[in-house]
Chains A and B, each alone.
Chain A
Amino acid sequence: MILNVTFWAFSALAVFSGWRVFRADSMVRAAYWLLVSFAAVGIILVLLRAEFLGLILILMMGGEMTIMAVFMVAFMMNPAGLNPMTMVHRNSVAIVAGVVSFLAVAALGLFARFPVARAPEGVDPTRKLGVELLGNSMLVFQTAGVTLLAAMIAAIAISSARGRYGDADQGSVEPDQMVTAPAGDVAAAAAHDPAPVTSPGAHQ
Chain B
Amino acid sequence: MNALRVVIAVLSVGTVSVAGIYLAAWVDLLVGRAVAGLEVRPLDALIAPLRWGAATALKARTTTERPDAETWALAPALLAALAAVGLAAVPLAPGLLAADVANGIVLFGAAMALVVVAVFLQGWSPNSPLPMIGGYRFIAEGLSYEIPLAVVLIAAALPARSLAIAPIVTSQEHLWNIVRQPLGLPLYLMAGLGLAFWGPLALPGGQDLAGGSSLETSGVSRILWRLAQLLVLVAVAAMGAAVFLGGWLGPLFPGAAWMIVKTVILLVPLIATRHFVARVPTERYVVVSWAILIPLSLLDVFIAGIQALVAAR
Contact = CB atoms under 8 A, between A and B. Distances in A.
A79 to B, nearest CB: 7
Contact of B113 (A51, A62, A69): A62
Interface string B89-121: 000000000000111001101100110110011
A126 B170 CA distance: 20
Contacts of A60: 113
Given A29-B68, A62-B113, A79 B121 contact: no
B136 to A, nearest CB: 7
B152 to A, nearest CB: 16
B132 interface: yes
Q: How large is the interface on A (under 10, 10 to 19, 20 to 34, 35 or more residues)?
A: 20 to 34
B117 A51 contact: no
Contacts of A62: 110, 113-114, 116-117
Interface in A42-97: 51-52, 55-56, 58-60, 62-63, 65-67, 69-70, 79-82
Nearest to B110: A59
A80 B132 contact: yes
A14 interface: no
A52 B142 contact: no
Contacts, number: 65
A40 B291 CA distance: 36
A35 B118 CA distance: 12
Interface string B119-151: 011001001000010001001001100100000
Contacts of B101: 51, 55
**Residue from A32, A66, A69 whose CB has the most chain B CB atoms within 10 Å:** A66
B271 interface: no
Contact of B106 (A52, A81, A82): A52
Q: Which 8 A-B pairs have the closest CB atoms?
A: A59-B110, A62-B113, A62-B114, A55-B106, A58-B110, A59-B113, A55-B110, A52-B103
